[in-house]
Amino acid sequence: MILSRNFVKDYIDLDDELSIKQIAEDMTRVGNEYDEARALVNSTNLIIGKVLECEMHPDSDNLHVCKVDVGNEVLQIVCGAPNVAKGEKVIVALPGAVLPGDFKIQKSVKRGVESNGMICALYEIGIDKKFLSEEDKNGIHVLSDDAPVGKDPIEYMKLNDEIIDFDLTANRGDLLSILGMAYELGAIYDKKVKEVDLSHRESGEDLNKSFELKINTPNCSLFLARKVENVEIKESPDFIKNRLIACGVRPINNVVDISNYVMLELGQPLHFYDADRLNGCLEVRQAQSGEKLTTLDEQERILDENDLVISDGNKGIGLAGVMGGLSTEVEETTKNVIIEAAIFDSVMVRKTSKKILRSEASNRFEKGLDPNRTYMAIERACKLLAEYAGGTVVTGMCEYNQADMKDREIEVSYEQINALLGTEIPKEEVLNVYRKLGFTAKDSGTTADVIVPRRRLDISIPEDLIEEVSRIYGVDNIEGKLPVVPMKRGSRNNTLREIRRKMVNLGLNETLTYVLINDKEVHKYTADSFEELRLSDPMTEERSVLRYSLIPSLVKTYEYNKAHYNKDVSIFEIGKGFWKKGEEYGENNKLCALMTGNYLDSLGKDQKVDFYVMKGVAEEILDYLGYGGRYSFVKPKQDICEFHPYQTAEISVNADICGIVGKLHPNETKDDVYVLEINLDKLLEKKTGKMTFKEISKFPSVNKDLAVVVDKFVTSAELQSEIKRAGGKLFLGSKVFDVYQGAPLPPNKKSIAVSLSFGANDRTLTDEEVNTVLNQIIERLEKGVKAELRK
């Protein structure tokens, strides 16, 4: 809704000192946001001039060189408009003028001829082309002969208005009218709203004798019709045209303009029919399924039972509240007019308008209307048609009224107000707010009994009245304080946060990627069987299913980084994976990591990422969470084709698979990319060992290195678990420090080098003791995994 300052001044006295920006800000503070506040014509330094001479430019076919009298001097101006001519009164932008779009006018030389300003078209000074006549769209504006040279053209054209374009909240339908705006401004500035002039004469036989209403639907609560005869269709007076333009509505002719003017002024949409094209009757009914109707825009519409139709008793002639029909439209030749002012069901209008066209009118019906305004609007239209279209108003009004006309009475206690707002506003101040709003409020000791005018459809419960106090009294006047309430630590699981910190401390960057992925990726990187969750209406193929694994997202992130010249990528994410099995829907928290290139560890040491680095990250997390000694890395039961066949292990915790760590298969990427994913929900329900102290040996441990050649499909993890089994009490642990494949080894072999440590709490081990255990281990490896000792 656009507010015109000149328009609203009909109903409220606004201080001239108050800038339009200030009014907009004051309205914002009571809850009415705006997009812009400005002069209607946003140009400076304009003056009325008279073209004394107009010659063709010596070096151009379309430029003219004009001598223009602007009162105190005569300026030479070069003008390119085709319609500039000697003797015309024109709008001149003087050097120094600024036109919309920050267009600065300066003295210039155009093809060798000096030009001191610009002769303007209306669209150049800021009137949108959609409001202009054909001549004005294509050339400069020519003022009437009586325009005073040297004076302000904006004032002369009565375009000296200011506007605020409001972005209103859905509940304030009452503000979709100049009168409603006046009430709101009245509450802010404590000014009384003036009466609307509805006075007009009427004559002739009562309309009810010649005209009939048939309301055959429950979806029309109020329908009024009046007739105005012998209207003369012509251009509207300036004030009507200018106010329509200010409010963003294109002027057409006086009769059509009056219908729009009253809607803007009072908020009630009206429809005017050519009375001679009706059969003395207007009917409101539901459309029949498949019924056809040609609307004003010359389009044939096919309707159904949910559309509300106006008919002339025989056939449909309009879509109630949405758009009139072509057959009964007011035209140049129209003499007699039937005015319709009605209230239609807001939901029904919304549905039909959504299908056909959303308009200023349908928007108002959708928000709800005050039936008192319906009565005002029809009288106001009669008055304006009599005054500005020379019409004669016919006596009497056809009336159908099932509407609730009553104002609401709501009781609110002062205590309730101050409790909800956290204030100590005295009752006088409360009553004062209601008075300013134009409500009637009676003090009943502990409560205010408020009669809320019907126009404020948004107010129905005491809390609404409390909101009015906070709005008009001012939220800024309410001091903030902190609630004094007992607080307890939230139930949110802290473990995920701990894992996140640990991962960051290990030197990985946390990412946040999209949950929605391409359906081609959803079953990748896993052997699990599940049904994916698919959107029924995806925006794109790329975002069409919910991810099960986070690996596809991190692989995408790696690819993005690679394309952006980031070779070293170490990232992780904690997020949910989603699935469906039969009728069961589920989701799991997952930890996913991806590493490639060089890994800058937490101490800033660069290291090339390999399988053992990625596995090491998994071990760090598992140890940190207390699963030390309870997990192992095992060969996947089944090949997952996106993973490398030999550099992949499943993570088994308490003998249950909880995750996977491995290298991406060379078919997936040529780079060495390693990933890890753990199902945290599954992992965290597993038992952990107690954190207890173990005696620390005072004696040194002994380290022995061992290198063996095994079949290439034997994993280091398998080797290590064999070692552990054979190691006995004196064995403390093992660490793989080299894995090698290639010449001189046969192609199906690889060599693994392990560092073993041995020790006891009560003594330093002798060489003999250590060698005995070492031999046991070697023997076991030879039998168990057919290892050959490498010399």
Partner 1 sequence: MQDSFYITDKYLLRTQTSSVQARTMVANEEKSPIRIITLGKTYRREDDATHSHQFNQIEGLVIDRKETKISLADLKGTLEVFMKKMLGEKTELRFRPSYFPFTEPSYEVDVTCFKCGGKGCSLCKQTGWIEVLGSGMVHPNVLRMNGYDPDKYAGFAFGTGIDRLAMFKYGITDMRYLYANDIKFLSQFDRMDK
Question: For binding to partner 1 (CB under 8 A), which residues are involved?
Answer: 28-31, 33, 169-172, 419-423, 458, 461, 463-464, 466-467, 470-471, 475-476, 478-485, 487, 490, 504, 509-516, 533-539, 543, 546, 557, 560-561, 564, 566, 568-569, 571, 585
Place of tokens 């491995």: 662
DSSP H/E element including 623:
helix 611-624
**Angle value at C-alpha 178, between 172 and 184, nearest 5 degrees:** 55
**Angle value at C-alpha 19, between 17 and 25, nearest 5 degrees:** 130
Taking the complex as a whole, how short is the minimal distance between the CB of residue 455 and partner 1, in angstroms? Answer: 17
Taking the complex as a whole, how short is the minimal distance between the CB of residue 441 and partner 1, in angstroms? Answer: 18
Of 175 and 773, the one with the shorter C-beta distance to partner 1 is 175
Taking the complex as a whole, how short is the minimal distance between the CB of residue 269 and partner 1, in angstroms? Answer: 22
- Sign of torsion, CA 76 77 82 86? negative
Write 731-735 long-range contacts (CB < 8 A, 24+). Answer: 731/756, 731/757, 731/758, 731/773, 731/777, 732/701, 732/757, 732/758, 732/759, 733/757
- The residue among 300, 281, 278 whose CA lies nearest residue 290 is 300
The CA distance from 472 to 184, in Å, is 10
Taking the complex as a whole, how short is the minimal distance between the CB of residue 509 and partner 1, in angstroms? Answer: 4
- How many Cβ atoms are within 10 Å of 486's Cβ, its own excluded? 4
Taking the complex as a whole, how short is the minimal distance between the CB of residue 406 and partner 1, in angstroms? Answer: 23
- The residue among 379, 381, 377 whose CA lies nearest residue 364 is 377
Question: What is the DSSP-derived secondary structure letter of residue 134?
Answer: H
Of 473 and 758, the one with the shorter C-beta distance to partner 1 is 473
Of 56 and 504, the one with the shorter C-beta distance to partner 1 is 504
Is beta strand 281-286 parallel, antiparallel or unpaired with respect to 220-229? unpaired
The CA distance from 570 to 669, in Å, is 16
Of 329 and 468, the one with the shorter C-beta distance to partner 1 is 468
Taking the complex as a whole, how short is the minimal distance between the CB of residue 738 and partner 1, in angstroms? Answer: 30
Of 576 and 749, the one with the shorter C-beta distance to partner 1 is 576
The CA distance from 164 to 179, in Å, is 15
Please count the residues of the chain.
791
Of 464 and 668, the one with the shorter C-beta distance to partner 1 is 464
Place of tokens 């979806």: 219
- The residue among 464, 426, 422 whose CA lies nearest residue 31 is 464
Any residues with CB less than 8 A from the CB of 162 and at least 6 apart, and which?
A: 4, 5, 20, 37, 38, 39, 40
The CA distance from 276 to 153, in Å, is 42
Rg of the chain over Cα atoms, rounded to whole angstroms, equals 42
Asked, as a colleague might, if the bond just before 744 is cis with ω within 30 of 0, I would say: yes
Of 613 and 732, the one with the shorter C-beta distance to partner 1 is 613
Taking the complex as a whole, how short is the minimal distance between the CB of residue 102 and partner 1, in angstroms? Answer: 13
From the centroid of its chain, how far is CA 186? Answer: 32
Number of H helices, E strands in the chain: 20, 44
Any residues with CB less than 8 A from the CB of 584 and at least 6 apart, and which?
A: none
The CA distance from 773 to 381, in Å, is 109
Residue 350 one-letter amino acid:
R
CB 424 within 8 A of CB 418: yes
H-assigned helices in 318-406: 346-355, 360-367, 371-388
Of 406 and 488, the one with the shorter C-beta distance to partner 1 is 488
- Cα–Cα distances (Å) from 455 to 158, 431, 693, 707, 770, in that order, read 31, 19, 77, 91, 97
Of 403 and 448, the one with the shorter C-beta distance to partner 1 is 448
Taking the complex as a whole, how short is the minimal distance between the CB of residue 427 and partner 1, in angstroms? Answer: 18
Q: 420: helix, coil or strand?
A: helix
Taking the complex as a whole, how short is the minimal distance between the CB of residue 323 and partner 1, in angstroms? Answer: 23
Of 254 and 353, the one with the shorter C-beta distance to partner 1 is 353
Any residues with CB less than 8 A from the CB of 264 and at least 6 apart, and which?
A: 7, 177, 178, 243, 244, 247, 249, 360
Of 405 and 535, the one with the shorter C-beta distance to partner 1 is 535
Of 373 and 471, the one with the shorter C-beta distance to partner 1 is 471
Taking the complex as a whole, how short is the minimal distance between the CB of residue 565 and partner 1, in angstroms? Answer: 9
Taking the complex as a whole, how short is the minimal distance between the CB of residue 418 and partner 1, in angstroms? Answer: 8
Of 405 and 478, the one with the shorter C-beta distance to partner 1 is 478
Taking the complex as a whole, how short is the minimal distance between the CB of residue 492 and partner 1, in angstroms? Answer: 9
Of 604 and 744, the one with the shorter C-beta distance to partner 1 is 604
Of 152 and 464, the one with the shorter C-beta distance to partner 1 is 464
Residue 305, both tokens: 């039972």
Taking the complex as a whole, how short is the minimal distance between the CB of residue 556 and partner 1, in angstroms? Answer: 9
Taking the complex as a whole, how short is the minimal distance between the CB of residue 420 and partner 1, in angstroms? Answer: 6
Taking the complex as a whole, how short is the minimal distance between the CB of residue 571 and partner 1, in angstroms? Answer: 7
Beta bridge partners of 39: 162
